[in-house]
Chains A and B, each alone.
Chain A
Amino acid sequence: MTAELTRTAAIDVERVRKDFPILERTVGEGRPLVYLDSAASSQKPRQVIEAMSDYYAHHHSNVHRGVHALAEEATALYEGARDKVAAFINAPDRNEVIFTKNSSEALNLVASVLGWAGEPYGLGPGDRVVITQMEHHSNIVPWQLTTQRTGSELAWLGLTDDGRLDLSNLDEVVNEHTKVVSVVHVSNILGTVNPLEVIVRRAHDVGAVVVVDASQSAPHLPLDVQTLGADFVAFTGHKMLGPTGIGVLWGRAELLNELPPFLGGGEMVGVVNMEGSTYAPIPHKYEAGTMPIAEAVGLGAAVDYLTALGMDNVARHEHEIVSYALERLGAVDGLRIIGPTEPEQHGAAISFILSVEGLGEIHPHDVGQVLDEQGIAVRVGQHCARPVCVRYGIPATTRASFSVYTTRAEIDALVDGLEHVKRFFGA
């Protein structure tokens, strides 16, 4: 690899790659790994791996539950991770950062407690929840469950032919009965970056609470919850260089204070009597039971890593990679991009369908299998966004997605790999 290929304007990718031990391994018959599946889960730098093993080797204990030295060290590390995350998203108050298992749990938490709440936030017959057709199943199903349980109504914004949100009927869909608007910041299947500003403004005009699924933006773009203007923001550690088993729900303190608890258990309580209990102040009110402590510490290390690179640099690097990938993939004969084809407002994932003369569309499973043989890891299928596939009349897509360690050489490898796929299946 030449220096020209491994350095974007913003990031010294060669150096970054040295931090990710897994990128050194080979797959199959000694092929170097070309990992283009970071939207499903990113790889981890050794700083994260070491932070977690150091935690277990030297500091582990339960948190908030003891006076001994280890309990204090573990608590300091766990709460320190909360401080790091709060700074990373520019939260006005560290207690607004709730640790969860992942994005899915964060979204279920919001959907559940809004369903259970009394006036003015609670949902009931006549109320409306608005989502969009490009949501991940994790931001669809929790709202289906809540609206079904409460007798409220679920409505959604549709998609334009070129893979963006159709906002032409925003004012009708987000009407005066709307109490919640929950929308994805960056689509995991189309790569679309959504214009949240207009949506947040309309939602707040009608008095709705705004929830943002930032699973695919937190790893890639500077995320400032104060500029975003939403009421809740959810994201997941394993997509942002952190470990699995840890996610974040940020919520406005006044809402979190007022809404009912989600899970009951140890640590989320004030005083427990047999007749009833009082609840701990936030964030603990929403963190029942022993939390994934090592995972929180790992997420803290991931946030440190991203912060050291600088999220502006991360965004610039990935924009450069996405622009290059759109250009190169766009030039592949028989390849159709699903979603926006311009790099503007385009996140770090590109979905496509590949066809070959004599056969027509090659099913994404087959594309992915032949790429795998060449050491190239992509994701194939519906990407937990079946409504998007239905909208565009396709069974599934092949998706390439990128991260801080992605190089232009890897995009070239993908393009060469796709030519091989066509030769393999061509009649």
Chain B
Amino acid sequence: MKLESMYQEIILDHYRSPHHKGLRDGFGAEVHHINPTCGDEVTLRVHLDDESQGEQAIIKDVSYESQGCSISQASASVLTDLVIGKNVAEAFAVHEAFLELMQSKGEAQGDEDVLEDAVAFAGVSKFPARVKCALLSWMALKDATAQALARSTQKETEQ
């Protein structure tokens, strides 16, 4: 297996200069996810414009602080590029596509129209030990978004 198939230049670029990194105020939910086998950690916040819109709510911002390998760092950076500005349903569809790519064991290429820079992770799917690294921030995003939405329904029922 060629190492370069995993460490694509795009991945290394995102790793060296991550996009949207840092925690920003004004968020609907914050989660902390870890990968206990390797110690990768991410704290991730999701800011939705209007939670009452449910899956139609727009993701205004995703901010994060993370610690981990190049794959997990680059993945978080690519994630923010992909989902900020999309509505929740669209973002979850991208998440689904990325998950599928990562579970493909090197068989899939990924749809560049949907996944953009994230197709560079196709090579990572050949390395089972690293798939978890690539998925860490995506799992955090899903969790945080679900929590933000749940919190708004909770608020409504309380009112």
Q: Bound state CA distance, A364 and B127, in angstroms?
A: 16
**A395 near B68 (CB under 8 angstroms)?**
yes
A427 located at the interface, meaning its Cβ lies under 8 Å from any Cβ of chain B in the complex:
yes
Known: A369-B130, A381-B37, A381-B38. A363 touches B3 (CB 8 A): no
Among the listed B1, B16, B41, B71, which residue makes an inter-chain contact with A365, where contact means beta carbons less than 8 Å apart? B71
**B70 near A363 (CB under 8 angstroms)?**
yes
Interface string of A355-376 (1 = CB under 8 A from B): 0001100011110011001000
Residues of B within 8 Å of A389, CB to CB, are 39
Residue of A nearest to B6 (CB): A369
B155 CB to nearest A CB, Å: 36
**A365 near B130 (CB under 8 angstroms)?**
yes
Residues of B within 8 Å of A381, CB to CB, are 37-39
B67 located at the interface, meaning its Cβ lies under 8 Å from any Cβ of chain A in the complex:
yes
**B6 near A395 (CB under 8 angstroms)?**
no
Chain A: interface residue count, which band? 20 to 34
B92 located at the interface, meaning its Cβ lies under 8 Å from any Cβ of chain A in the complex:
no
The prevalent SS among residues of B at the interface is mixed
A425 located at the interface, meaning its Cβ lies under 8 Å from any Cβ of chain B in the complex:
yes
A10 CB to nearest B CB, Å: 35
Q: Bound state CA distance, A363 and B69, in angstroms?
A: 5
Residues of A within 8 Å of B39, CB to CB, are 381-382, 386, 389, 395-396
B137 CB to nearest A CB, Å: 15
Residues of B within 8 Å of A364, CB to CB, are 38, 69
Residue of B nearest to A358 (CB): B16
Residues of A within 8 Å of B40, CB to CB, are 365, 395
Which residues of B approach A to under 8 Å, CB–CB?
Answer: 1, 3, 6-7, 12, 16, 37-41, 67-71, 73, 127, 130, 133
Seed contacts A369-B130, A380-B38; 10 additional CB < 8 Å A-B pairs: A365-B38, A366-B69, A369-B6, A369-B127, A381-B38, A381-B39, A386-B39, A395-B68, A396-B38, A396-B39
